[in-house]
Amino acid sequence: MKGVVTTGLALLAFVLQVFFSPVISLFGAKPEFIIILIVCAAFFSGELFSPVAIALFLGIALDTTLQGGTYINTGIYLFIAVMGVVAGKLLLPRNLTIIMLAVGISGLAKYFLLIFILYAVDIEGSPSLMILIKGLPSIAYTVLASLPCFYFLQSIYQIQFMKPDSGQTGVFLGE
């Protein structure tokens, strides 16, 4: 059941990102619903598999449909998922402030990594901070969009079958 709900959340985030995000854009800034889901899954699930699976699935889906098959977003989302799980283990109070801060840092990391990845694959001629500066409004919008998403995802992850099994042990599983 946990996998069905996680897949449903991933499909919802993909639909919101592809179809709803351009509709609610403000002056070209669009919220990144995929980053919000990855960060919340990393903090709330308490395990590594769920956020990494979401990042891999949504990264491949987004890169295949919209980005022309470069798969840059897939790598960035995987990085955000792993860093989110590590941050979720280190920062125990999983409140709204911590999640919004983590979403903002994840957005900064995405655009900061884009600077060097686009240069490394020779899409950009030189590393330019303009990529990060142009992404700042989208990062701010994503942080604001994480406010209602936080309460929705928190209520989903508090359902009993979404919590890690108590019999499982490991580094990235629940307390």
161 CB burial (10 A radius; 0-12, 13-18, 19+): exposed
Does some domain include residue 22?
no
Q: What is the pLDDT of residues 116-171, one digit of tens each?
A: 888 888 777 777 888 888 899 999 999 999 999 999 998 898 887 777 665 555 44
Listed range (14-18, 36-40, 119-123, 171-175) with the worst mean pLDDT: 171-175
**Residue 35, domain extent:** 2-17+30-103+143-158
Does some domain include residue 164?
no
Does some domain include residue 112?
no
Does some domain include residue 55?
yes
Q: What is the pLDDT of residues 87-124, one digit of tens each?
A: 988 877 778 899 999 999 999 999 999 888 888 887 77
Residue 26 in 3-state DSSP? strand
Does some domain include residue 63?
yes
**At residue 165, what is the residue type?**
D
Is the separation of the CB atoms in 71 and 77 below 8 Å? no
Domains in the chain, number: 1
pTM of the full predicted structure? Answer: 0.87
Is the separation of the CB atoms in 80 and 107 below 8 Å? no
Is the separation of the CB atoms in 142 and 35 below 8 Å? yes
Q: Would you state the structure tokens that stand for residue 77, as one six-digit string? A: 């989302």
Does some domain include residue 152?
yes
Does some domain include residue 132?
no
Tell which residue, 110, 61, 101, has the closest CA to residue 81.
110
Give the whole-angstrom CA distance, residue 166 versus residue 57. 27
Tell which residue, 90, 3, 95, has the closest CA to residue 46.
90
Does some domain include residue 170?
no
pLDDT, residue 164, reads 65
